[in-house]
């Protein structure tokens, strides 16, 4: 029977009781210090959490030279913009990344069971260019990483790249019209254009738990998995855990993927859950043979558009992706108002639909998990859109193993001890602690995500400029920072997409296209005009819809600023309001580029000094 058919009719439920239950569950989690996080970058005692376990650090001489374009970050966005530049004939580019190679998030995240829950045919970029059809509907982390490697090979993007190198400072030198980029390896590169492609979820969160430093065993974050300790690989059995008890902290999109492989290998696994995720059906399956038969040129772009249309609530002839994102998430975030429906009725129908979706998730838990108490604790009680949804088919079943035990602690972990952790006054002994505790929010300002000082005209830093919120033109350029581009991301006056690759493709198209056009026009440098930036900010603010009242009813999560939605800055909103108007934004950017007048830019066309 289709999941749709099993949903409880709205008339069967007590709306008030559900609301009260959701608020009571929220309150259990709204505890002081719930988001206290260690500053691991600047603390020598904690920096080991960031050490690259995947590639040896090799000494090298500092690089002192020039490049036309420096791109910080060799993940999907950095690679795509580099490809765009190479395709536009701009050869002299230099990628810089703290990782040992390309891949970004897919370089660092190699935890057991790693997959992407956005369909592979739209998430993996440049499938047509690389003539690659993923073998499965959802790709593993290794497959995505290998694909990004293949893109780097195809376009020779490692040439000139600096890996295991972190930018410490980038400063605009007005006389030379160059960015001076220095790294922790002593490099000093002068570049005409500077592109921040530093990623969205790139700052690991290690919770500031009392007693953590006293723990006697290994601790690591899922984005630095310690295979020396666990044995095995992302999809190979973890061979060294048979006599080990492991604690996994966190049950978000990452935690739920690594529990099953841990359960299959370890003596015992404690899964520390603060808030249950809503875990929908993933239904991975091999790509049918006929899939490739009907694909014409441009099929991947069309498929990405199809997904984005469905996610935006637009009518499409066929939902090509046809998965839980497009069924559940798309319908919950784009409620349809019936003709003549009153505001109150509309609000009720939205709530009813949300309830049906959440009930289906809760029913799934009850059906899969055998122990009733564990099942109850795994049921999510909040509105669906309050938290990033998850999709997985093995996590819930892992609790039917005798060696996988849920430790449900809505208020968090009391403390860590030499031998383990304490919840509700009970000490659990473990050999190892895995932090599946996620990353700083997508809305983390760019200057923090960049992790280095970006200093523009007259010594102004990006941190100062964006101190009161984003200030940009198109979410990608900012006045006072000539020849600087920031790849689009949430929280910076661009738009948000569930399929991040789609946004990276658009950003790469715009940034590489603009740089190529500026070069063709012989422009030495550009800055954003005051009026253009003010106008863009105004457009963002004008379309801002205050969601505080709904968000404050939500369980704390990254979506509502961990329970403090009032502190969210409207200036960090998206073009078009809400998640943003992707297609409107794209049309505007493409029109601007085609128009070729660089409207909103102040151009310096003086001869570029050598």
Residue 440 binding ligand NAP, by CB under 6 A: no
- 419, with CB counted inside 10 A (0-12, 13-18, 19+), is middle
Q: How far is the CB of 582 from ligand NAP (least distance, A)?
A: 17
Residues 257-276 that bind ligand NAP (CB under 6 A): 272, 274-275
Residues 156-195 that bind ligand NAP (CB under 6 A): none
Kindly report the number of other CB atoms within 10 A of residue 48's CB atom. Answer: 13
Q: Specify the residue, 272 or 462, whose C-beta has the smaller distance to ligand NAP.
A: 272
Q: What angle do CA 557, 552, 475 make, to 5 degrees?
A: 65
- 582, with CB counted inside 10 A (0-12, 13-18, 19+), is buried
Say which residues have a Cβ less than 8 Å from residue 9's Cβ, sequence separation at least 6: none
Residue 113 binding ligand NAP, by CB under 6 A: no
CA pair distance 465, 444, nearest whole angstrom: 15
Long-range contacts of 321-326 (CB under 8 A, 24+ apart): 321/119, 321/122, 323/119, 323/137, 323/282, 323/283, 323/391, 324/280, 324/281, 324/282, 324/389, 324/391, 325/117, 325/118, 325/389, 325/391, 325/498
Q: How far is the CB of 12 from ligand NAP (least distance, A)?
A: 29
Site size for ligand NAP (CB under 6 A): 26
Crossing angle of helices 141-154 and 76-87, in 10° steps, is: 20
Residue 600 binding ligand NAP, by CB under 6 A: no
SS3 label, residue 362: helix
Binding range to ligand NAP, per CB under 6 A, among 79-87, 244-252, 503-511, 570-578: 244-252
Residue 434 binding ligand NAP, by CB under 6 A: no
Q: Can you tell me which of 90, 144, 189, 249 binds ligand NAP, judged by CB under 6 A?
A: 249
Binding range to ligand NAP, per CB under 6 A, among 186-194, 248-256, 510-518, 600-608: 248-256
Q: How far is the CB of 546 from ligand NAP (least distance, A)?
A: 24
187 neighbors 62 (Cβ within 8 angstroms): yes
Pairing of strands 420-423, 415-416: antiparallel
Binding range to ligand NAP, per CB under 6 A, among 18-26, 330-338, 433-441, 535-543: 433-441
Binding range to ligand NAP, per CB under 6 A, among 1-9, 94-102, 246-254, 378-386: 246-254
Q: Specify the residue, 115 or 167, whose C-beta has the smaller distance to ligand NAP.
A: 115
Crossing angle of helices 299-311 and 582-595, in 10° steps, is: 130
Q: Which two tokens stand for residue 484?
A: 């600087």
SS3 label, residue 353: helix
Q: Specify the residue, 67 or 386, whose C-beta has the smaller distance to ligand NAP.
A: 386
Residue 250 binding ligand NAP, by CB under 6 A: yes
Residue 487 binding ligand NAP, by CB under 6 A: no
Q: How far is the CB of 151 from ligand NAP (least distance, A)?
A: 19
Q: Specify the residue, 31 or 242, whose C-beta has the smaller distance to ligand NAP.
A: 31
Q: Which two tokens stand for residue 543?
A: 């379309």
Kindly report the number of other CB atoms within 10 A of residue 91's CB atom. Answer: 12
Q: How far is the CB of 254 from ligand NAP (least distance, A)?
A: 3
Crossing angle of helices 343-368 and 15-29, in 10° steps, is: 70
Residues 275-294 that bind ligand NAP (CB under 6 A): 275
Q: How far is the CB of 606 from ligand NAP (least distance, A)?
A: 44
Binding range to ligand NAP, per CB under 6 A, among 146-154, 187-195, 350-358, 437-445: 437-445
Instruction: Produce one character per residue of 251-284: b if its CB has 16 or more CB atoms within 10 Å, e if not.
Output: bbbbbbbbbbbbbbbbebbbbbbbbbbbbbbbeb
Residue 210 binding ligand NAP, by CB under 6 A: no
Residue 439 binding ligand NAP, by CB under 6 A: yes
Q: How far is the CB of 497 from ligand NAP (least distance, A)?
A: 11
Residue with tokens 């998965």: 323
Q: Which two tokens stand for residue 158?
A: 């490692």
Say which residues have a Cβ less than 8 Å from residue 90's Cβ, sequence separation at least 6: 68, 69, 512, 515, 516, 519
What secondary structure letter does DSSP report for 287?
P
What x/- string results for residues 24 through 63 when contact with ligand NAP is judged by CB under 6 A? -----x----------------------------------
What x/- string results for residues 381 through 400 when contact with ligand NAP is judged by CB under 6 A? -------x------------
Residue 483 binding ligand NAP, by CB under 6 A: no
CA pair distance 362, 367, nearest whole angstrom: 9
Q: Specify the residue, 336 or 415, whose C-beta has the smaller distance to ligand NAP.
A: 415
Q: Can you tell me which of 182, 191, 251, 499 binds ligand NAP, judged by CB under 6 A?
A: 251
SS3 label, residue 360: helix
Residue 501 binding ligand NAP, by CB under 6 A: no
Q: How far is the CB of 225 from ligand NAP (least distance, A)?
A: 12
- 394, with CB counted inside 10 A (0-12, 13-18, 19+), is middle
Q: Specify the residue, 251 or 306, whose C-beta has the smaller distance to ligand NAP.
A: 251
Q: Can you tell me which of 177, 246, 398, 413 binds ligand NAP, judged by CB under 6 A?
A: 413
**Helix, strand, coil shares, percent, the chain, to 5:** 35, 15, 45
Q: Specify the residue, 250 or 488, whose C-beta has the smaller distance to ligand NAP.
A: 250
Binding range to ligand NAP, per CB under 6 A, among 247-255, 284-292, 444-452, 543-551: 247-255
Binding range to ligand NAP, per CB under 6 A, among 65-73, 113-121, 339-347, 545-553: 113-121
Residue ranges binding ligand NAP (CB under 6 A): 29, 115-118, 201, 207, 249-255, 272, 274-275, 388, 412-413, 436-439, 557-558
């Amino acid at each position: 029977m289709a999941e749709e058919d099993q949903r409880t009719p709205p008339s069967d439920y007590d709306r008030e009781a559900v609301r009260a239950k959701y608020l009571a569950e929220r309150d259990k989690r709204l505890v002081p210090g719930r988001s206290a996080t260690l500053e691991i970058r600047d603390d020598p005692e904690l920096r080991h959490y960031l050490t690259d376990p995947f590639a040896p650090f090799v000494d090298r001489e500092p690089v002192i030279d020039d490049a036309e374009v420096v791109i910080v970050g060799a993940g999907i966005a950095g690679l795509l913009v580099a490809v765009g530049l190479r395709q536009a004939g701009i050869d002299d580019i230099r990628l810089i990344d703290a990782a040992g190679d390309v891949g970004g998030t897919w370089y660092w995240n190699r935890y057991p069971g790693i997959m992407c829950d956005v369909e592979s045919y739209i998430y993996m970029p440049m499938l047509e260019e690389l003539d690659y059809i993923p073998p499965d509907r959802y790709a593993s982390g290794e497959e995505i990483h290998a694909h990004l490697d293949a893109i780097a090979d195809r376009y020779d993007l490692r040439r000139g790249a600096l890996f295991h190198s972190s930018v410490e400072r980038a400063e605009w030198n007005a006389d030379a019209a160059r960015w001076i980029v220095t790294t922790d390896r002593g490099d000093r590169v002068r570049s005409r254009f500077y592109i921040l492609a530093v990623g969205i979820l790139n700052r690991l969160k290690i919770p500031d738990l009392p007693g953590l430093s006293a723990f006697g065993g290994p601790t690591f974050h899922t984005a630095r998995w310690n295979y020396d300790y666990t044995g095995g690989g992302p999809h190979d059995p973890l061979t060294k855990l048979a006599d080990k008890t492991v604690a996994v902290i966190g049950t978000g999109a990452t935690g739920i993927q690594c529990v099953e492989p841990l359960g299959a290998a370890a003596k015992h696994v404690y899964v520390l859950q603060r808030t249950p995720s809503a875990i929908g059906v993933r239904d991975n399956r091999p790509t049918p043979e006929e899939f490739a038969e009907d694909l014409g040129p441009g099929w991947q772009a069309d498929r990405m558009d199809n997904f984005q249309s469905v996610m935006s609530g637009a009518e499409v002839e066929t939902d090509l992706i046809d998965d839980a994102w497009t069924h559940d998430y798309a319908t919950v975030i784009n409620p349809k108002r019936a003709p003549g429906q009153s505001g109150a009725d509309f609000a009720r129908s939205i709530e009813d639909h949300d309830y049906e979706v959440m009930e289906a998730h809760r029913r799934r838990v009850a059906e899969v998990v055998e122990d009733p108490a564990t099942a109850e604790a795994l049921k999510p009680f909040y509105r669906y859109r309050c938290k990033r949804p998850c999709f997985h088919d093995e996590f819930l079943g892992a609790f039917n193993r005798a060696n996988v035990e849920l430790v449900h602690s809505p208020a968090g972990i009391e403390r860590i001890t030499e031998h383990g952790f304490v919840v509700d006054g009970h000490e659990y002994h473990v050999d190892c602690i895995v932090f599946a505790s996620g990353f700083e929010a997508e809305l983390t300002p760019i200057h923090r995500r960049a992790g280095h000082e970006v200093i523009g005209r007259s010594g102004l830093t990006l941190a100062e400029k964006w101190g009161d919120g984003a200030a940009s033109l198109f979410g990608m350029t900012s006045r006072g920072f000539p020849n600087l581009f920031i790849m689009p991301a949430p929280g910076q006056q661009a738009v948000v997409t569930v399929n991040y690759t789609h946004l990276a493709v658009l950003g790469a198209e715009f940034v590489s296209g603009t740089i190529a056009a500026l070069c063709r026009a012989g422009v030495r440098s550009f800055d954003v005009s005051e009026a253009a930036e003010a106008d863009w900010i105004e457009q963002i603010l004008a379309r801002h819809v205050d969601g505080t009242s709904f968000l404050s009813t939500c369980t704390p999560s990254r979506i509502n600023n961990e329970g403090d939605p009032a502190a969210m800055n409207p200036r960090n909103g998206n073009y078009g309001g809400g998640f943003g108007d992707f297609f409107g934004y794209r049309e505007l950017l493409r029109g601007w580029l085609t128009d070729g007048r660089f409207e909103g830019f102040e151009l310096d066309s003086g001869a570029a000094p050598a």
